[in-house]
Amino acid sequence: MNNIIRFVGKAESLFSYSQKLRRDFHRYPELGFREYRTAEVVARELRSLGLEVTTGVAETGVTAILEGNQPGRVVMLRFDMDALPIDEQTGAEYASQHPGVMHACGHDGHMAIGLTVARLLQENREAIHGTIKLVFQPAEEGLGGAERMVAEQVLENPKVDICLGLHLWNEKPLGWAAVVPGAFMAGADFFTVRILGKGGHGGLPETTIDPIVAASQVVMALQTIVSRNIAPLESAVVSVTQMAAGSAYNVIPNQAELRGTIRNFLPEVRDVVLARLEQIVRSIALGMNCEAEIELQRLTWPVVNHPRVTEIVQGVLKTLLPEYRNESNYRSMVSEDMAVFLNQVPGCFFFIGSGNPEKGLNASHHHPKFDFDEQVLPKAAAILAGAAVELGKSQL
């Protein structure tokens, strides 16, 4: 790995470039499938390096091809682009100029890292075996961007052998990483439950079939799925996150609606959770003389990292950033549509700590005060560039 050690110093020398891009993306955030200005900036930077660039993939996605000077594998590096519908409250000089839209998850940093990686690799093509495919993906935040890209053949032409990605992680500080083999991030489903009753006057409850009472019992009963149906050493989450019913203080409504999310790592655990959810909802509704409607939407599969690919990335981290602590058994119930690519191609998705409590940069992801320590940018770029080079010449 001696030929990649220089990436650390080179990435540090590009810090002002990375920071400038990150702050530009942060000032002008765009929601999923609307990243038009963002895509223009990404494409402009990639073209300035003389790369073969394709735009309009899955509406606003951008890809670029970087051919190495030696034969090897096709390694895809993926970076998400979209922002969130959040009003920013950071007070930063580079705060969002688009009211109600904010980069509150670090995707602005991911794009800056991706463009820095492109520059590092282009300037060191002699070290590259095979082909690097840079993929800037729209609509990661639950809108199906990865599925659209796969449907539009992003894993083909050239056919991808290995895929890599990372996520800045404000829950942990600089100097921390999680490069984890196997199941790493949870798969996610959304559910909507409608309890249908019979509305009427709030002062005459005996003439109604109250869906609010039934829905309330459903909420409480759903809490038993994980505690009483899933083994303690397994992991699952069932969270009711929305409840809507009624429009007046003296009217019992016709229906109540619940929405929420299910998270898990294993297909068999998911099967149990979904089966019990349906049993509980329908049984309680029946017992309360109501009807029930259930809608399920799979958001994404679990993120499962390939053992050998992960081992190589761990080696790159240890070589380039020996001071970093890798928490190799870390797992998160947060979901990521990088799982869509990993379901098709072996690869690795990992976290790198970006928080800094001393600077007040430790707000959680999706929080209106989210911001991260930009010193992570060159570290992350060096790791990805080095991993791409090592994987390009690897034998899995």
- Residues at the annotated binding site for Mn(2+)? 105, 107, 141, 167, 366
- Residue that has been written with the tokens 């409850």 in this structure: 205
CA distance 42 to 25: 10
Please give the structure tokens belonging to residue 257: 């609606």
Q: Which of 45, 80, 82, 210 is catalytic?
A: 82
**Using an 8 Å Cβ cutoff, are 350 and 180 in contact?**
yes
Centre a 10 Å sphere on the Cβ of residue 281 and count the other Cβ atoms it contains. 23
Annotated binding site: 105, 107, 141, 167, 366
24 a catalytic residue: no
Three-state SS for 195? strand
* Cα 103–Cα 105–Cα 106 angle in degrees, nearest 5: 80
140 is catalytic: yes
Residue 315's DSSP bridge partners are none
DSSP 253: -
Evaluate whether 282 touches 292 at the Cβ level (below 8 Å). yes
Determine which one of 88, 108, 140, 210 is catalytic: 140
- Between the CA of residue 301 and those of 34, 330, 341, 347, what are the distances in Å? 24, 18, 10, 14
Residues assigned a catalytic role: 82, 140
